[in-house]
Structure formats: structure tokens, C-alpha cells
Amino acid sequence: MEFMTNLQSGLDEQKPSLFELLSEQQLGALIPPSLRYLLAVATHRYPRYLLRILNSFDELYAFLSLVVERHYLRTYGGGFTENFYGLKRERVLLIKGGEIPRAALGAPDQVRETLKLRNSDIWKNLAVMVALPYTKRKLDEHYDIHAASANVLGPSFRGDALPDDATYRQNIFHYYKWFLRKVYPSVNAAYYFALLAFNLAYLFDTAKYHNPFFWLIGTRIRRMNQADHKAIAAAAAPAPPRPGAPPAPQSLLSPRTLT
């Protein structure tokens, strides 16, 4: 009876609300500036050792994020901050509607194995989780440095005029600054407009994806269910000893040793 009730109600209990997703994103967005601030404070005391690390903070943080997020995606099926909210990432099936409610209720373990991220999906998600935010941060930073002042001064600004005998590197840098001034503001506006459109579509339950980049890689965020917790617990459990193997050494604080 409970099976038929859940099936006929049409309520997707595994679909997180938009507010859960936004809260998780805000938590993740707080980590880089917090770590940068702590590193800057420590650099004032130990500049000889930490100044170079602070100057390369974005690259170092991207590398550490890649390692941590890959571990969490492989182990828990979701990112580091998503794990705090009981969320996971799963593939979207290429079938009509993309949903299999009967199978999800009748055979949750098999459905979990079918929808869990493969190795190629993990790397696609890492590109969205690590490479995309890193690129966005660097573009915003370079825009503030090279393009914001030029846009304020207007056509009279000639500080970046290309010399006649410019080198190949100077040409590349010149057109990069042109891209930042002329093209990047429109790209940035389109980026935030696409995020808003997908968020609204997800809020009104007309889309499975709350983010356009999740749509591109065919991944969505879901709540963990009992099958997920059972699989994670089974993976974390120690392997059974082989027949005839000597017993593992006991810790001094083990209850068996103390008694």
C-alpha cells in the first residue's frame, strides 16, 4: 500500500529544494575567502615561508579542491559541502522523462548502481566544481585589473595601445585585454542570466537541473536515500579476515584488552 501511495502521489522525496542547493553553494563559496584570510594573517607573521603560497593561492586551492572533491565524489557520490547537506550527484538516464519511479521504489540498490557517477562523469563534475570556478575567479580578477579602469575612462584611454613592433606575447595580451573590455561583460551577464533562468525553472518544477552546466554534463543533485547510506557504510566497513590469518593486534585502549 505504501509503495502504491508513493508512486501515485507524484512527490519526489529525493529532489532537494532550491533553497537547500543555494545554501550549499553559499557554504562552498565561503571556503576560499576564509582560507585566504587565514593564510594572509599567517603570512604577516611568517612572510618568508608563506608569501609565495599566498601569491599562488588560487592555483593551490584549485589543486587541493581537485583532490578533495574527487575523493568525495568517488566515496560518497557528492562534493565536500554537499555531503554536509546529505546530497549526492547522479547521472540522468537518457529515457523519456528521465525517471524510473517504480524501479526506484522496488529495487533501490540496483537503481543506485545504475545512476551513480562513472569515472568519466566524475571528471566532468570536477570540471564544473573546480575548473569553472577557478576560471571565473581569474577572469573577474583580470577584469578588475585591466578592464574596469579603461571602461571608466572611455574612448580617450590609450594606455594599452599596441606598439608597431609588438611581440607575439604582447599581441596575445593586447587581445586578451580587448576581450575583457568588450566581450567579457556580455559573457558574464549571460552566465548569471542562465543561472537565474535554470534556478527559476527548477523552483517551479519545470526542469531537473538547477544549473546549466549540470544540464551540459547530464548530472543532477539528489538527496541521499537508505540505499546510499547502506552502500557507504558497507564500503567503510573493514574487510573480513582471511581464513587462517592471525588476529589483528589489539589497541591498548581496546575494551577487550582492558578487561
Per DSSP, the residues of 190-201 read HHHHHHHHHHHH
Question: Which residues are CB-neighbours of 71 under 8 A, at least 6 positions away?
Answer: none
Q: Is residue 226 part of a domain?
A: yes
Q: Is residue 256 part of a domain?
A: no
In percent, the amount of the chain with pLDDT more than 70 equals: 76
Q: Is residue 259 part of a domain?
A: no
Q: Is residue 204 part of a domain?
A: yes
Task: Report the candidate in 80, 46, 13 with the shortest Cα–Cα distance to residue 222.
Answer: 13
Residue 190 domain boundaries: 2-234
How many structural domains does the chain have? 1
| CA–CA dist 180, 143 (Å, integer) | 6
- pLDDT (tens digit, 9 = 90+) per residue, 121-144? 999 999 999 999 999 999 999 999
Q: Is residue 251 part of a domain?
A: no
- pLDDT (tens digit, 9 = 90+) per residue, 148-188? 666 555 555 555 666 677 788 888 888 898 899 899 999 99
Q: Is residue 250 part of a domain?
A: no
Q: Is residue 157 part of a domain?
A: yes
Q: Is residue 167 part of a domain?
A: yes
Question: Which residues are CB-neighbours of 126 under 8 A, at least 6 positions away?
Answer: 66, 69, 70, 73
- pLDDT (tens digit, 9 = 90+) per residue, 180-203? 989 999 999 999 999 999 999 999
